[in-house]
Every structure is written in C-alpha cells, then in structure tokens.
Amino acid sequence: MTYLKSTIIILIIFSFAFNHCLNAQGPPPKKPIQLEELTIAQIQKKYQTGEFTIQQVVQTYLNRINEIDQNGPALKSIIMANPDAMKIATELDKELKAGKSRGPMHGIPVILKDNIDTHDKMPTTAGSRALSNNFPLQDSFIAKQLRAAGAVILGKANLSEWANFRGMKSTSGWSGVGGLGKNPYVLDRNTCGSSSGSSVSVSANLTTVAIGTETNGSIVCPAQTNGVVGFKPTVGLVSRTGVVPISFTQDSPGPITRTVEDAAILLSALVGTDPTDQKSLESKGHFHKDYTQFLKKDGLKGKRIGLYAAPSKNNKEVTSLLNRAITYIKSQGAEVVMVDEILKPETSQYEMDILIYEFHQGVNDYLKTLSSSVKVKTVSDIVAFNKKDPVELNYFGQEFMEIKPVSKSEYKESLKKMFKGSLENGIDRILKKYKLDAIMSPTGGPAWKTDLKNGDTFEIGSAGPAAIAGYPNITIPMGFIGELPVGISFFGTAWSEPVILQIAFAYEQGTKHRRIPKFLR
C-alpha cells in the first residue's frame, strides 16, 4: 500500500469513527436539558433529584460537539468523541439507581487532552499523524483515577501538536490530526496552547470539565485566552505516567474548568502517589483528597500578595484591568506589595537545554511502551515521518526534534543552575523577602489573530517563574478587552495549592468575570 493511500484510509477511519460515536450513541434525551455553565455540584444535584440522568447529560454534550465543534462555528476542539461514552453513562446510571455514588465526579463528563493515554477505542496522538494508530496498552494514571471516581471520559481534545514542542514559529491550536482550533469568543483569534482543545471545549460548554498539561504556560495561557479557569499544580501532585512527555522536570497535568470550585473537585480526583512516577512520590504527605475544604469567600482577608506587574507594562488595557483587580483584592482585606523581577534572564536559557534533553529522552522512552502497530520508535523516526507526510510540515518546522541535545554532564549542570535560579533565587526568594502568601500577575493579553504563516504573537506572559520552578499556578478570568477575555494568575511555592485555591476562589466569587462565548466571526 502506498503512503498516500494509507494516509487517506487513516483519515477516513477517523472521520467515520467520530461521526459514528456522535450520532449512533443512542436515542436523544427524552426532553431537552440545559447544560450551559452548569457546575459539577449543580449537575450532581440534578442527578440526585432525578431531573437529569447521566445518559441525558452525555448525549446532550455529544450533540453540542456535533453542532458547535464539528459543524456551525467548527471550533475543532475535539479530536475524537469516546465511542463508549454512552455505554459508560448507562452503567453509571445503574449505580446511581442502586443508591451507589462514587463521589463528586460520578457521572461527570471529562475531556482529556490527546497526549493522555486511555486504554479504549480512542488513540493517543499528541496531535501527530505519526501516532494516528497509537492505541495505548493501558490507561494513564490520570485515566485510572477518573474512571475510579466515576467520571465519563467524553473524548480527546485537540492540542498544539506535541504540546507545542516541535518547531519554531508554531501556531498554537493546530495539529496534523485535529487541524486548526478556533477561539470561541472571536473565531479568527488564536486559542493559545498547548491545551487548546481542552480550554475551548470547557469554554464552549462542550463538556463539564477537562484535563490539560503544562510544561511552561500550556494550561494557564489557553485557559485565560478562552475565558476559563486553568490550574497547573506543583510538579508531582498529579502523576505523569501515560502522558506523552516533554519534560520530567516541568510537566504537570491539571484541571481546566469554568469555576475554581470545579477545579478543586477535579484536582481532588486526580491526586495520589504513583510508584511509576518518581515526582509523584514526592507528593506523599502533601496532597489532599478534598480541596474544596479550602474554598472560602473571605479567603483574601489577611493575605499578603506580591504584585508581579512587569508582564503588563506594555499594554495599557491589561494594566487597567489589573489595577481594578488590585483595588478589589485590597478591599477584601489583603495587602498587595510590588515585587521585583522574579527570574534572571539566564534561568530561561538553562530551561531550553533541559527541555530539549528531556524531550528526546522522554519521547524515546514513551515510544518504547507502545504496541508494534506504531511504526515510529524514536524521535528520529518522527522526524523522518514528518518529512514524508503531506500535512505535518505545511506550517512550521521541527527544529526541537532535529537539534542535538546537550551532553548529560551539561544537562545536569543546567538543571542545577536552573533550580537555583528559579527556587532559591527565584520565587522562594521573593516570597521570603516580602513575607508573601502568594504572587499575582496578569496571565497574558487578549488573543491575537491566528497566523499560520508567521506563528504565534505573544505580547504578555507570566507563566515562566512558576513553570520553571515546578510550582502551582492558577489563572481565572480578570475581565475583557473588547470581546476577548484576559486572566489573572496566582502562584506560590511547592504544595501551596490550598492557599492558591483560597485566594483564587475569593477573587472569583467577588468579581464573576466569566462570560459565555458568542462565536463572533
């Protein structure tokens, strides 16, 4: 069979599978149900009263994916819906009818970024056509946790291919498998990435919640650009086993939701030590099985928060929104203190050497775990595949895959210097110097126009310090510039999720900046 014929067959299979699982899941709900903006707690209440069944909720979301994501505005946030979604919903309904609930996530639909393994009828592609037939041999730790909690894995989300670590001048939200995703607020604007589809699907009410992954900004940037909450936990709080890697040092999966409370509920279902992930073992004694206990409307009272304003200095509109946020935070009894630069420039330079080294090692190790049907076995195989593929290199290159990593000794030296710069001389220095509970900063600016020729245009970004340190970072809506949302971030030291959630929840409850997108053209 020629390569072109095999490519066409793969695309036909993807198209058939997607439409089949959307349109052949079973009969539509007996009566239309309204799911827009409903939280986990609100859906659970309707399950308890019998107003909703899990099957109704799942089918309604599948219908919305068909109407809005694949047709209508054609957001392209979902690569594939789960063919077993209705079957899972039916079984979970039976459990509820028998008086058994597995907890707050029972019957709650979740979209997974398509770099997270699921052992089912959905491949895990990382957006790459080289992995189109990658059907993992087992669930990721995340998928196991979600299934045990009674969640319905609704489908796999589109993403910036290889979590946006393939080449220069990349366009966030594009992958060879899923195509180009669109921002639900204004369709010609970018989604940011790499957790683009996870963020868009939550914002457009195609699911209740979603999971993204972050190495440096890949949860918080798309979450803020699409007007939702994104929470990147301390590295190790959520296991990375079964997640297509970039960096052992920095990778962290986390919740993407419409509310801070939902982020806390979802995080509670994800945590737990995993012996196959060394970083996860470090979370022992630091994780909580119920993060909602830390949510208090007066959670800003008495807090001392550092203001890292440098990212917004060149954007007057973002600065204006930030000043309003500061005014509100102070009105709630918190003290806001201006802080100096968190990281020295060379710290980010060490990061790139580390990422390239760990990406090559991590992806090669991941590929070894796959079935024999996956033909690429090394990063070099992926490079060769992409050069022959008619789609993969249409818009940007694969420099990060082709570049030779530094030596092991150079890598270890860079790691030592980066940790010293980001921890001892970075966030921890700032927290200690100013006696802070947390640091806040604008997450980013409004979404830029998508440009497949020149790639992304980042004007503002504050994800770096927490990402490089491996520390928690949450973004929530701060307001709008025109029709485009902008977020505010709160971040702190290792394992400070309870404090970060408390601050974010209190700010959210008093401001309520979240708006439903209008799909403007």
Residues designated as active site: 113, 194, 218
Q: Which strand (E) or helix (H) includes residue 293?
A: none
Q: Which strand (E) or helix (H) includes residue 489?
A: strand 484-491
How does 175-204 read in b/e, with b if 16+ C-beta sit within 10 Å? bbbbebbbbbbbbebbbbbbbbbbbbbbbb
Alpha-carbon distance values, 244 to 127, 368, 374, 384 (Å)? 11, 12, 14, 19
CA proximity to 120, closest of 102, 137, 133: 137
Q: Is 105 exposed, middle or buried (0-12, 13-18, 19+ CB in 10 A)?
A: buried
Alpha-carbon distance values, 157 to 16, 152, 189, 380 (Å)? 17, 14, 18, 26
The number of residues making up the chain comes to 521
Cβ atoms of 112 and 157 closer than 8 Å: yes
Cβ atoms of 170 and 393 closer than 8 Å: no
Alpha helices in 154-204 (DSSP H): 161-164, 196-203
Q: What angle do CA 231, 200, 515 make, to 5 degrees?
A: 85
CA proximity to 217, closest of 458, 481, 418, 504: 458
Q: What angle do CA 60, 63, 68 make, to 5 degrees?
A: 120
